[in-house]
Amino acid sequence: MMKYLDIPPFWLIAALSLAWIQGQYFDFGFSLDFPMVQMLGGMLVGGGIILIALATIEFVKHKTTIIPHQTAERLITQGIFKRSRNPIYLGDALILLGLILRWDSVLSLSLLPIFVWVIEKRFILPEEDRLRRKFRVEFARYLKQTRRWI
């Protein structure tokens, strides 16, 4: 069962659920509920969705897997992957941050570095290890040219 739950959307939904619960029931009087913060939150969510969509298009175009625990058939270095090695995970983090701001879940801002740490340990490092073994020289070049996040 855990095999099917150990995917990035599960971790994002878990973090979002905690943030929503915290914002609804445990605000302890902390608030950033200003129109500019609400607008920033919406922009972050929109930006995250756009990043995920752009990355998904590249996966489809290059006919390789988007599933984290599988080995890719091709190394994608074009499109959004020229700017970030992990645009989907970056998009997830932007969505989390944006919804924390939209829900005024100030105390849940601490979830963001925890979420990034979990994603990096559970998914990014193993993915990069598989890519390093399969695409040796090409992946080494890509590592030098493109940052992990932004």
Regions of the chain where pLDDT drops below 50? none
Render pLDDT for 23-52 as a digit per residue (tens, 0 to 9): 999 988 889 989 999 999 999 999 999 999
> Does residue 37 fall inside a structural domain?
yes
- Cα dihedral 69, 75, 81, 84, rounded to 10, equals 60
Structural domain count of the chain: 1
> Does residue 109 fall inside a structural domain?
yes
Report the pLDDT value the prediction gives residue 65, as an integer from 0 to 100.
Answer: 94
Residues 87, 77: Cα–Cα separation, whole Å: 12
DSSP string, 84-117: -S-HHHHHHHHHHHHHHHHTT-GGGGGHHHHHHH
Render pLDDT for 91-102 as a digit per residue (tens, 0 to 9): 999 999 999 999
> Does residue 130 fall inside a structural domain?
yes
What is the domain extent for residue 62?
11-22+32-145
> Does residue 64 fall inside a structural domain?
yes
pTM: 0.94
> Does residue 2 fall inside a structural domain?
no
Residues 32, 35: Cα–Cα separation, whole Å: 9
> Does residue 139 fall inside a structural domain?
yes
